[in-house]
Copies of this chain bind each other. A is one copy, B any other.
Amino acid sequence: MAKLVGKALVAQGGGPTAVINQSLVGVVLEARKFPEISKIYGAKHGVSGIVNEEFYDLTQATTHNLEQVALTPASALGSTRDKPDIEYCKKMFKVMLAHEIRYFFYIGGNDSSDTCRIVNDQAISQGYELRCIHIPKTIDNDLVGTDHCPGFGSAAKYVAQAFSGINQDNRALSGVYIGVVMGRHAGFLTAASVFARKFEDDGPHLIYLPEKAFDQKKFIKDVQTNYEKYGRCIIAVSEGIQDKDGTPIMTSLAAGEVEKDAHGNVQLSGSGALGDLLAELIKAKTKIKRVRADTLGYMQRSFLGCISETDKNEAREVGERAVQFSVWHNVDGSIAIKRVGDYAVQYELIKLEDVAGKTKHMPDEFIDGDNNVTTAYKNYARPLIGELPVTDRIASPSVHKIIGG
């Protein structure tokens, strides 16, 4: 089969990550090496830039500029929450055809892989030769078929460093602290708070994941037990925690209306509500006075200056591999990371339909009871996050009392 010759189009969809531009730059720089790719365009704001025919000509970006962009958090091309249906994909397809796009790379989560799948099906049914490659990214780490997702490691590093600092802060000024972490359906990111623990009594003392039913009474009891034991209690809680019937705790605790998006999802990020409601619950049900809540917020996915080296390198390489697979092997699919050592990875191309619209949850072996994670999780996540900055406690004896008893 003759090599497909034409333009390439790259786009970024969904929530940004700290390394999503590494993948973008990986695509662009790798694409420049192939004579089969005449030009490389970047769609502004994901699929919406395709239907609106708004492209950057990335052929004209300098390598220096691209390398600076690679270090910058959050989708440099712009992103979108549009979730294309078949009609939308047809519009995209029309524009791509007009610009003689032959290679389409979409960096995103499972919605983006679904978009790739639909565009690919359209192309096949219309006899238009187009390579469609989905490049994974998500801080939630919830894509199936891949060992882990680019973007997760850096977000997890942020969460670990945040809770590590919180752990010191809460030791200095004790009380109950609730930190709300992103992750609507999967608890991988919340679980990363475990890396803040160094000493036996370090926090987080309780870790709540969306995978385990959240019971308010049990929660209060566990907070009290830990507070009595350590004189303090740090809680890492996923924004997506649900009760045993699958109702988001955010909904059951909120007195009034909660904001929902077009898909009927309750607004979880961009508000401190869940943390505040849990803090109020603790204050109401216990005698603990100092109860504080932070919602870690958008810093988790876009804080400047907190990058996992492994994540950064892999995010670059999935972009490069996407181009190589499409040009050399003339195939469509989704790039997956396969763990082949401790720690080593290989990249493979899996079928779009095997990723599209599916969500991976924390496997049981990563979850310890209803408020902790296992060593298996730590072994899984540690190489993705890398080494954390040093922390230590004062190691010297107490002075014998002269006055006091």
Given known A-B contacts A15-B173, A293-B270, A57 and B399 have beta carbons under 8 A apart = yes
Q: Which of A59, A77, A271, A399 has the most CB of B within 10 A?
A: A399
Partner of A98, one of B171, B292, B303, B403: B403
8 A Cβ contacts from A159-180 to B: 161-162, 164-166, 168-169, 171-173, 177
Looking at chain A's contact residues, the main secondary structure is: loop
Return A286 CB to nearest CB of chain B, in Å: 15
Whether the Cβ atoms of A65 and B171 lie closer than 8 Å is: no
Whether the Cβ atoms of B392 and A302 lie closer than 8 Å is: no
Q: Which of A42, A57, A61, A271 has the most CB of B within 10 A?
A: A271
Chain B residue nearest in CB terms to A15: B173
Return A35 CB to nearest CB of chain B, in Å: 21
Chain B residue nearest in CB terms to A294: B297
Instruction: Give A220 to B402 CA distance when docked, in angstroms.
Output: 61
Tell me whether A202 is interfacial, beta carbon within 8 Å: no
Tell me whether A2 is interfacial, beta carbon within 8 Å: no
Contact pattern, A 115-140, Cβ under 8 Å of B = 1, otherwise 0:
00000000000000000000000000
Whether the Cβ atoms of A173 and B16 lie closer than 8 Å is: yes
Instruction: Give A177 to B71 CA distance when docked, in angstroms.
Output: 23
Tell me whether A222 is interfacial, beta carbon within 8 Å: no
Return A11 CB to nearest CB of chain B, in Å: 12
Whether the Cβ atoms of A98 and B162 lie closer than 8 Å is: no
Q: Which one of A237-245, A272-280, A358-366, A371-379 is at the interface?
A: A272-280
Chain B residue nearest in CB terms to A402: B98
Q: Which one of A310-318, A323-331, A347-355, A383-391 is at the interface?
A: A383-391
Chain B residue nearest in CB terms to A165: B302
Whether the Cβ atoms of A271 and B292 lie closer than 8 Å is: yes
Return A139 CB to nearest CB of chain B, in Å: 12
Tell me whether A62 is interfacial, beta carbon within 8 Å: yes
Instruction: Give A276 to B296 CA distance when docked, in angstroms.
Output: 14
- Size of the A side of the interface (Cβ < 8 Å), in residues, is 87
Whether the Cβ atoms of B164 and A394 lie closer than 8 Å is: no
Whether the Cβ atoms of A168 and B73 lie closer than 8 Å is: yes
Tell me whether A152 is interfacial, beta carbon within 8 Å: no
Given known A-B contacts A16-B173, A404-B53, A390 and B72 have beta carbons under 8 A apart = yes
Q: Which one of A78-86, A142-150, A204-212, A334-342 is at the interface?
A: A78-86
Whether the Cβ atoms of A161 and B403 lie closer than 8 Å is: no
Instruction: Give A394 to B70 CA distance when docked, in angstroms.
Output: 10
Whether the Cβ atoms of B403 and A58 lie closer than 8 Å is: no
Chain B residue nearest in CB terms to A79: B172
Instruction: Give A395 to B41 CA distance when docked, in angstroms.
Output: 13
Given known A-B contacts A15-B173, A271-B292, A166 and B298 have beta carbons under 8 A apart = yes
Return A158 CB to nearest CB of chain B, in Å: 9
Chain B residue numbers with a CB within 8 Å of A45 are 172
8 A Cβ contacts from A44-65 to B: 45, 52-62, 65
Instruction: Give A191 to B220 CA distance when docked, in angstroms.
Output: 39
Chain B residue numbers with a CB within 8 Å of A270 are 177, 279, 291-294
Tell me whether A226 is interfacial, beta carbon within 8 Å: no
List residues of chain A with CB under 8 Å of any chain B CB.
12, 15-16, 18, 41-42, 45, 52-62, 65-66, 68-69, 71-81, 94-95, 98-99, 161-162, 164-166, 168-169, 171-173, 177, 269-273, 275-276, 279, 291-299, 301-306, 388-399, 401-404
